[in-house]
Amino acid sequence: MDGLMMLLTSSGAGGRTGLQTPTPLPADTQPEAETSSPAPERADIDIDIDTPAEEEEALHAFRTHRLQFLPLIHLPATTTAQDLKHQSPFLWRCITAVESKHAARQAALCVTIRELAGKRLLVDCDKSLDLLQGVLVYLAWVTFHSQPQKSSLCIYAQMAIGLVFELGLNKPAPPDLSMTVSNSNAVGHMPGLKASISTRRTMNERRAVLSCFVLTSIIAQFLGRMDPLRWTPHMNECLDILAQSDESPGDGVLVQITRTRLLADQILQGPWCEGVYGLHPTQALAAFHLKAFESRLETIKVEMPIPLTDNKPILFHLYDTEISLYEVALVKPPPDEEMSSQRLGHLYACLHVVKQFFDLFFTIAPAEYTSLALPYLTQVSHCLVTLFRLSTLDYPGWDKAAVKGTVDLLVVAEQIATRMSQVAAAVGMRSDGALGDPFSKLGMMMQKLRSEWAVRLPECPGVVVDRSGGGGEGFASSMEMGDLDSFLSWSEMAWLTEGNGAGGFATWS
């Protein structure tokens, strides 16, 4: 945001973004090619060096790899990189940033994207589907690669929500543009004001609003300090239409992910603060909710189309939602509570799903980790925190040795660290100097967390713990504690090292 504020204070530097501000058009009208001046160079890095072949390769990678994890847009095979650059310039910038394999160039592209967002959204007050789609790509992938690293999830999530409102995507498209004109415009006070709302809802608009809900819902859960995009009847209509769509294979995936997130939101709002296992009326109410949510989750699984039952992105969301449901058993029991077989059953169910999640996660090759969108990285952290709490829980009848035998937290952390360190070589990432690549940094951070957890875990003989606060001389110079916050806005590392769930996943302790 520092870059955005600097841009706002010097708003006279118009036109230096290198992208034309698209004029809102009816849904069936194709935008014209951008004709503005080229983007400025940033230091000695040229951000526009791709050949046509490289641009097509980047588009193909985004279309075939990244969108399988979050199909927020349909890009037909007939759409070329040149087409997308003309039709959706901001979206294209975001795609080139996430697909860049050179750390310094990626850093320059990320800064340019922030400046473009600042000028187009806050200075020019532009509203377009291009901007919304670009912001969604930023939230899903660019935030993880951002250099210089800044916490921006909440700000950009609110930008996405604001664009949904401005474009009217959360409501039915009006039959007549005159119905969208403000009162001020109607009486002639603002005759130059143009409506940004189209009169026909497109399929990509439907995908965008559902993807905005999914991303903001996950970010809200993760950060614990904002609300997601509010669900509306029109969004439910969009969901039903996409469920019947055969335009893109990703539509079915997006539908199932959205349905699962709707349930996850309801679970997070459940009456869990007083616990579930007791005779008090509030506990009986909580138990009733838990049963209802279990039934709803089973219905989602049963009603899922057979070709999607083994889809990995969908399974990740299902497992994460199920963990959110059963981790209510981690609510600290009252001192006088006797052993509850129901609580133990839910604890073991939670442990079983955590194991399923990591078993699935480790079937993904390191080269595919670059395609993982933000939701899956937050889900990994959620599962790690839940596993830590299960590994350290003191409760009558709860066998911590059995937890370690089922899913060993330290083994999982070591595997994640090792696989993250292999990503750059697997995909041909190049890094110069202090920038590094985000996956190697995350691997080093995981090693750091593993050492922190090892100190707190019971019965860990033979574990060598680095108590110096780092993983070697190179660790301190290239991996600061703030880096984890920079990747995913994790403002306090304590919620991972202590397992307190401060990110909104499990606040009962």
Angle at 73 between CA 143 and CA 152, to 5 degrees: 20
Alpha carbon distance 294, 399 (integer Å): 25
DSSP secondary structure string, 119-158?
IIIIIS----HHHHHHHHHIIIIIHHH-SS----HHHHHH
- Report residue 308's pLDDT band, with 50, 70 and 90 as the boundaries: very high
Q: What is the pLDDT of residues 396-419, one digit of tens each?
A: 999 999 999 999 999 999 999 999
SS3 of residue 430 by DSSP? strand
φ, ψ for residue 264 (rounded to 5)? Answer: -60, -40
Alpha carbon distance 497, 9 (integer Å): 40
Alpha carbon distance 17, 111 (integer Å): 11
DSSP secondary structure string, 288-312?
HHHHHHHHHHHHHHHHS-GGGTT-H
Q: Map out the domains of the chain as residue ranges.
A: 270-497
Looking at residue 103, its pLDDT comes to 80
Looking at residue 45, its pLDDT comes to 53
- 77: Cβ contacts below 8 Å, ≥ 6 apart: 63
SS3 of residue 276 by DSSP? coil
- Report residue 195's pLDDT band, with 50, 70 and 90 as the boundaries: low
Q: What is the pLDDT of residues 454-499, one digit of tens each?
A: 988 876 544 444 444 443 333 333 333 333 343 333 433 334 544 4
Looking at residue 78, its pLDDT comes to 95
Looking at residue 284, its pLDDT comes to 82
Q: What is the pLDDT of residues 92-129, one digit of tens each?
A: 999 999 998 888 888 888 888 999 999 998 899 889 99
**Cα dist from 136 to 31, 163, 247, 445, 502, whole Å:** 20, 11, 21, 26, 25
Closest CA to 106 of 157, 151, 143, 73: 143
Give 296: exposed, middle or buried? Use CB within 10 Å, 0-12, 13-18, 19+: middle
- pTM, two decimals, is 0.81
Identify the DSSP state of 118: I
Range scoring the smallest mean pLDDT among 10-14, 174-178, 251-255: 10-14
Looking at residue 463, its pLDDT comes to 44
